[in-house]
Amino acid sequence: MSKRTRCLLAAVLTGCMAWGVSLSAQAKQLTLCWAAWDPANALVELDKDFTAQSGIEMKYEFVPWTSYADRFLNELNSHGKLCDLIIGDSQWVGGAAENGHYVKLNDFFKKNNISMDDFMPATVLGYSEWPKNTPNYWALPAMADAVGWTYRKDWFSRPEIRAEYKAKTGHDLEPPKTYDELKQIAEFFQGRKIDGKTVYGAYIFTERGSEGITMGVTNVLYDYGFKYDDPKHPYHMDGFVNSPGAVKGLEFYKSLYKCCTPPGMTNAYMQEGLDAFKSGQVAMQMNWFAFFPGLYKDPNVGGDKIGFFVNPSAGQGHATQLGGQGISVVSYSDHKDDALEYIKWFAQPAVQKKWWALGGYSAAKSVVQDPGFPKSAPFAPDFLQSMNIVVDFWAEPSYATLLLDMQKRVHDYVVADKGTAKEALDLLVKDWTKVFHEEGKI
């Protein structure tokens, strides 16, 4: 064999080896799909440990919340292969299970000694189970979340402000425990001058296009007696969705919006709330706990300047809107075994502990029931209390239609001044009854 031939053969062999290595590398790569927000950045940092231990590289498809549902539900419905793992919203689990989008995890959990008893019950119900209240699991609880509130602790603690509030109301200025107290405080701060700047009482969700105003108003509705249906007769909603208490709750949300929010907040959700709080516009802000680590670190409004409190009560009950997501293996993935390996890794108590430390919200009891957890972050006690009172929106396969119906009816009343609260909820009952009737459920 000539030298030239040997060189050519060596080059071919080297190329083949490189090609084989390339294919191997591709086989050891996973794409995880989620929303683009602070917890996703924390997950990227956490996943470096997974890659180091497994040799599996992680890629990410993160999209803004405003397009999150459209982007990934379209991907699932088209049986796309982009996502090997998906951190999908709690409301997706019914449709994803019934349409075959997610891998059922029961056998995998059993084989690997992963028990749902090791996670907070509300997150198992909200993120993992379908049908609800049955041991059929389609996700591992990944990102526990709920609606909570932040407030300007530095404003609340100023002696002159406290004295004026006490003189005006007869009460001490403290984080509110009831909605009446919240509104009273919001009215007190509305239009007030602080450090030469006009400020406003409260920020609440009003966004219409995706889920915003629904995720805001339900926090009040639950506390006033709203229920999605008759507990004894599933999908029968008249007298529950539009109960007298629910009507009062919707009226309250509108009154709070009208009296005590910054001007122009007619279509505002998570980011607008963060901007309003960070820029010093509002005394109190409704938002998801997921954002609170970042706010606490904010150089302008964080640290000693920020405080946190649980969603108030109306005196007739105490609840808050569940957020958060579970992590699922997409059934159309070509790398399901590697994706399951990731689920096994993520479920480990040590990984869950680091997840919390990096800014994610663990749902593992080993983390949240640790005696030191309440002192691990200034918002940790309120998070724990909130996760014990969470209620979720419909997780039905038709949830998107149900959600858009509520978005329209509530936004029309609260923001657009159309009709009465009773009329809005009566129309919502008709909308939802039509959906479930077409599905053959009523």
pLDDT per position as a tens digit, 71-81:
999 999 999 99
> So what's the pLDDT on residue 341?
98
> How do 85-89 and 29-35 pair as beta strands?
parallel
Residue range 392-419, pLDDT digits in tens:
999 999 999 999 999 999 999 999 999 9
154 compared with 13, residue with greater pLDDT: 154
User: Can you tell me the mean pLDDT for 84-108?
Assistant: 97
**What's the pLDDT tens digit per position in 277-303?**
999 999 999 999 999 999 999 999 999
Residue 122 banded pLDDT, cuts 50, 70, 90: very high
Cβ–Cβ under 8 Å, residues 267 and 286: no
How many Å apart are CA 14 and CA 362, to the nearest integer? 46
Tell me the pLDDT tens digit for each residue of 372-391.
Answer: 999 999 999 999 999 999 99
- Which CATH code for domain 29-145+323-391? 3.40.190.10
Whether the per-residue pLDDT at 37 is higher than 80: the answer is yes
User: CA 80, CA 155: separation in Å to the nearest integer?
Assistant: 50
Q: Is the pLDDT of residue 364 over 60?
A: yes
pLDDT at residue 121 greater than cutoff 90: yes
Q: What value does the mean pLDDT take over residues 110-131?
A: 98
pLDDT at 4 over 70: no
The letter for the amino acid at 397 is P
* pLDDT at residue 262, rounded to an integer: 98
**pLDDT tens sequence across 189-237:** 999 999 999 999 999 999 999 999 999 999 999 999 999 999 999 999 9
The full set of domain ranges for the chain reads: 29-145+323-391, 147-321+395-438
Q: Across all residues in the chain, what is the average pLDDT?
A: 94
- Give the pLDDT of residue 8: 42
Give the model's confidence band at 12: pLDDT under 50 very low, under 70 low, under 90 confident, else very high. Answer: very low
Using H for helix, E for strand and C for coil, what is the string for the chain?
A: CCHHHHHHHHHHHHHHHHHHHHHHHHHCEEEEEEECCHHHHHHHHHHHHHHHHHCCEEEEEEECHHHHHHHHHHHHHCCCCCCCEEEEEHHHHHHHHHCCCECCCHHHHHHCCCCHHHECHHHHHHHHECCCCCCCECCEEEEEEEEEEEEEHHHHCCHHHHHHHHHHHCCCCCCCCEHHHHHHHHHHHCCCEECCEECEEEECCCCCCCCHHHHHHHHHHHHHCCCCCECCECCCCCCCCCCHHHHHHHHHHHHHHHHHCCCCCCCCCHHHHHHHHHCCCEEEEEEEHHHHHHHHHCCCCCHHHEEEEECCECCCCCCEEEEEEEEEEECCCCCHHHHHHHHHHHCCHHHHHHHHHHCCCCCEHHHHCCCCHHHCCCCHHHHHHHHCCEECCCCCCCHHHHHHHHHHHHHHHHCCCCCCHHHHHHHHHHHHHHHHHHCCCC
pLDDT above 90 coverage of the chain, percent = 93
Does residue 9 carry a pLDDT above 80?
no
pLDDT of residue 19: 42
- pLDDT higher than threshold 90 for residue 18: no
pLDDT tens column, 297-330: 999 999 999 999 999 999 778 999 999 999 999 9
How far apart (Å, rounded) are the C-alpha atoms in residues 274 and 277?
5
Using CA atoms, how far apart are residues 368 and 345, in angstroms rounded to an integer? 19
**CB contact at 8 A, 273 and 22:** no
pLDDT band of residue 333 (cuts 50, 70, 90) is very high
Q: 98 has which bridge partners?
A: none
Interval 177-195 mean pLDDT: 98
> Sorting pLDDT into bands at 50, 70 and 90, what band is 27?
low
Task: Choose the CATH number for 147-321+395-438 among 3.40.50.10860, 3.40.190.10, 3.90.1150.10, 2.60.40.10.
Answer: 3.40.190.10
pLDDT per position as a tens digit, 241-286 = 999 999 999 999 999 999 999 999 999 999 999 999 999 999 999 9
- Please tell me if the domain spanning 29-145+323-391 has the same topology as the one spanning 147-321+395-438: yes
The mean per-residue pLDDT over the stretch 130-148 comes to 97
Residue 157's CB: how many other CB atoms inside 10 A? 13
What is the reported pTM? 0.92
Model pLDDT, residue 5: 44
Provide mean pLDDT across the span 124-138. 97
CA distance 91 to 77: 15
